Amino acid sequence: MAITESWNSRLGVILAVSGSAVGLGNFLRFPGQVAQYGGGAFMLAYFISFLIIGLPICWAEWTMGRSGGQHGFNSSPGILQAIIKHPAGKYLGVIGVLVPLIIYLYYVYIEAWCLGYSLNFIRGSMEFSSIDESTNFWATFIGAGADGSALGFGISEVGGFLIFCFALNFFLIYRGLSKGIEFFCTYAMPALIVIAVVILIRVLTLGAPDDSRPDRNIINGLGYLWNPTKVVLQERPAADAPWETVTEIVSPVALATREAEAAASSNLQVIEIGIFEQMRRPGLWLAAAGQIFFSLSVGFGVIITYASYLKKSDDIVLSGLSATSANEFCEVSLGGLITIPAAYAFIGIAGVAGMGTFDLGFKVLPMVFSNMPFGNLFGFLFFFLLFLAAVTSSLSMLQPVIAFLEESLGINRKASVSILGLITAIGSLFVVYFSADVKALDTLDFWIGTFMLYILATIQIIIFGWIIGIDEGFRQAHQGASMKIPNIYRVLMKYVTPAFLLIIISFFVMENMLGWTPWGGESEVSSYVTDLVGGEGKEPNTVARMSVGLIAIVFIFLTIITASSSRFKNFLNREGAQ
């Protein structure tokens, strides 16, 4: 019998999968999205997306992964080829190796930011009186000012932290699935939740930190996040010009002031935007579905590999639901209540409106923590929490590539870890060196960490619903299951989920690449496209082009290995002979 790795316990695999999913997106991206797209409206679209995209793809990935594992494969190319019994499967599966490998190259960089921030907080060197100060610290720390400036090794520079994170990740991955990944997640995930609860209690008891601004309080911060009806101030430059939104209004004091201003000017108005009016915006659905996607780690190639280490009789329906619900708990019940209310209470709407993930996490929040009682402690805890979440996610990105190298090259773990260490060191050095405006990171994140996730998930759900077949897929999913997948998911997983994903991809290409917004608004080709080919009055960006070139080189490298692997060829030959 072949010697293979396996999980040590059912709870361990659930914690590992949820650890893979829980990351910066839960604590930074999600609250920003909820606030931007209108609390109640966004949450409704978010839960619908969870039910018709998140859960179906999770169950499909768990099922296909375990099935591939029964054929002796743990890598995405091996698993997909074994399932569809055609060489095309292994080439489609290459995407499941490419995605986690490329994402790791920049994710470990962000992991190092989190560790660096936490240690700088605990040593008391994070005292900011304005966002400009915290922005300057961030720019210096990560080397955003110029290429090559991130390679310093002082306490206020990212280099040393990056090396530590690299060493930690590879030490754990070298220890293996059970003694490395599962061991770490078994302690890190409960610790992460406890830390998040402690910070949540601190934030919810802040009240109004500035006595001179009583309207800036936690309740209004929660209102900004969760109110289903948005009240906004609109302005127009002339009587015949269109209205443009100036700001959202949350507090009763601000509402009274703005209404008085609007009453005195014919070019100002205060209006309410209801929940259903907000939900008519396709952009809101795109954002909600996208958040579900990134949050659950579907389309990453991770779940399929993790599930391949399960036995045929192991439950995957409840385990999949448990891992998913753990992620949702961290996102909605913890992340959704911490960051935005805290930032609102200290800075007001101007500090949170339109903030991206990095802006909110590494510019606004450090300023918030440094002005909070016991801020150094809570700042340390918050960024250490993000660091733990990042490590559990990083490990999950390495394992699919380790499995691929072992299978395709026929090497042991020591050799595969060494090769992967070399590849990722070179790739991460590229990302870290070209740190100016985080251009390399941003480009890789858009093309692989965003666009390619949609592609891989769509491939997986189509294979599950149409190639395996929904009846056979459900039969496999229910082997050893302690609960049943509701029958409505037969229809959802075969028709609705693939159709919904294809629509999302179409809108994503239209809006986020070509800049065409069918529902109105300005039309401008995305900078991610003009960075590569020029246009819109811009020259192509060399770093962006090199980043896409890096993706192409890695993809070709993985494809060549896949094509020449005797292990993959022999499987199909054996299947054909039978």
Partner 1 sequence: MTVGGWLVMIVSVGTVTGLFAWCIYKVMTEKKIEDHHIHGLDIDTPDQPHR
Q: Which residues contact 451 (CB under 8 A, 6 or more apart)?
A: 508, 513
Least spacing, CB of residue 251 vs partner 1, in Å: 10
Residues in 244-273 that interact with partner 1 by CB under 8 A: 250
Q: Does 11 bind partner 1 (CB under 8 A)?
A: yes
Nearer to partner 1 by Cβ, of 280 and 538: the residue is 280
The one among 19, 25, 31, 39 contacting partner 1 by CB under 8 A: 39
The one among 220, 305, 393, 497 contacting partner 1 by CB under 8 A: 220
Which 3 state secondary structure label does DSSP give 291?
helix
How far from chain centre, in Å, is Cα 386?
Answer: 13
The one among 140, 178, 450, 559 contacting partner 1 by CB under 8 A: 178
- 371 membership: H or E segment, kind and range: none
Least spacing, CB of residue 221 vs partner 1, in Å: 9
Q: Which residues contact 169 (CB under 8 A, 6 or more apart)?
A: 108, 111, 391, 394, 395, 398
The one among 111, 248, 315, 442 contacting partner 1 by CB under 8 A: 315
Query: What residue type is 116 in one-letter code?
Result: G
Q: Does 127 bind partner 1 (CB under 8 A)?
A: no
Cα angle vertex 30, ends 123, 488, to 5°? 140
Quick one: which segment of 297-305, 330-338, 358-366, 524-532 binds partner 1 (CB under 8 A)? 330-338
Question: How many CB atoms lie under 10 A from the CB of residue 179?
Answer: 13
Q: Does 13 bind partner 1 (CB under 8 A)?
A: yes
The one among 291, 295, 319, 392 contacting partner 1 by CB under 8 A: 319
Quick one: which segment of 40-48, 294-302, 468-476, 524-532 binds partner 1 (CB under 8 A)? 40-48
The one among 70, 333, 418, 526 contacting partner 1 by CB under 8 A: 333
Quick one: which segment of 142-150, 327-335, 419-427, 570-578 binds partner 1 (CB under 8 A)? 327-335
Residues in the chain: 578
Query: Residue 382's closest CA among 363, 366, 401?
Result: 366
Q: Does 206 bind partner 1 (CB under 8 A)?
A: no
**Measured distance CA(444)–CA(119) in Å, rounded:** 28
The one among 40, 152, 421, 515 contacting partner 1 by CB under 8 A: 40
Quick one: which segment of 232-240, 317-325, 376-384, 446-454 binds partner 1 (CB under 8 A)? 317-325
**Measured distance CA(87)–CA(224) in Å, rounded:** 52
Q: Does 61 bind partner 1 (CB under 8 A)?
A: no
CB of 200 within 8 A of CB of 338?
A: yes
Least spacing, CB of residue 5 vs partner 1, in Å: 6
Nearer to partner 1 by Cβ, of 103 and 332: the residue is 332
Quick one: which segment of 56-64, 121-129, 150-158, 216-224 binds partner 1 (CB under 8 A)? 216-224
Q: Does 336 bind partner 1 (CB under 8 A)?
A: yes
Q: Does 318 bind partner 1 (CB under 8 A)?
A: yes
Query: Residue 297's closest CA among 546, 24, 1, 572?
Result: 24
Q: Compute CA distances 21 → 169, 185, 300, 391, whole Å.
A: 16, 12, 10, 11
Q: Does 223 bind partner 1 (CB under 8 A)?
A: yes
Q: Does 164 bind partner 1 (CB under 8 A)?
A: no
Q: Compute CA distances 388 → 165, 460, 483, whole Å.
A: 11, 29, 31
**Measured distance CA(356)–CA(336) in Å, rounded:** 15
Q: Does 188 bind partner 1 (CB under 8 A)?
A: no
Least spacing, CB of residue 117 vs partner 1, in Å: 27
Nearer to partner 1 by Cβ, of 3 and 239: the residue is 3
- For partner 1, what does the binding mask look like between residues 481 and 510, x meaning CB under 8 A? -xx---------------------------
Q: Does 47 bind partner 1 (CB under 8 A)?
A: yes
Q: Does 412 bind partner 1 (CB under 8 A)?
A: yes
Quick one: which segment of 232-240, 345-353, 409-417, 454-462 binds partner 1 (CB under 8 A)? 409-417
Radius of gyration of the chain (CA): 24
Least spacing, CB of residue 413 vs partner 1, in Å: 6
CB of 424 within 8 A of CB of 104?
A: yes
**What string of H, E and C letters represents the secondary structure of 494-539?**
HHHHHHHHHHHHHHHHHHHHCCCCCCCCCCCCCHHHHHHHCECCEC
Q: Does 512 bind partner 1 (CB under 8 A)?
A: no
The one among 414, 574, 576, 577 contacting partner 1 by CB under 8 A: 414
Question: How many CB atoms lie under 10 A from the CB of residue 576?
Answer: 8
Least spacing, CB of residue 175 vs partner 1, in Å: 6
**Measured distance CA(544)–CA(547) in Å, rounded:** 5
The one among 84, 219, 273, 505 contacting partner 1 by CB under 8 A: 219
Query: Residue 568's closest CA among 75, 9, 229?
Result: 75
Query: Residue 225's closest CA among 326, 343, 125, 313?
Result: 343
Nearer to partner 1 by Cβ, of 408 and 443: the residue is 408
Residues that bind partner 1 (rule: CB under 8 A) add up to a total of 61
CB of 284 within 8 A of CB of 278?
A: yes
- Do strands 244-249 and 230-235 pair parallel, antiparallel, or not at all (unpaired)? antiparallel
Nearer to partner 1 by Cβ, of 163 and 483: the residue is 483
Nearer to partner 1 by Cβ, of 334 and 386: the residue is 334
The one among 157, 314, 359, 531 contacting partner 1 by CB under 8 A: 314
Q: Counting beta carbons within 10 angstroms of the beta carbon of residue 354, is it exposed (0 to 12), middle (13 to 18) or buried (19 or more)?
A: exposed
DSSP 143: T
Query: Residue 203's closest CA among 61, 374, 82, 426?
Result: 374
Residues that bind partner 1 (CB under 8 A): 2-14, 39-40, 43, 47, 72, 174-180, 219-220, 222-223, 225-229, 250, 275, 310-311, 314-315, 318-319, 321-322, 325-326, 328-329, 331-333, 336-337, 406, 410-414, 482-483
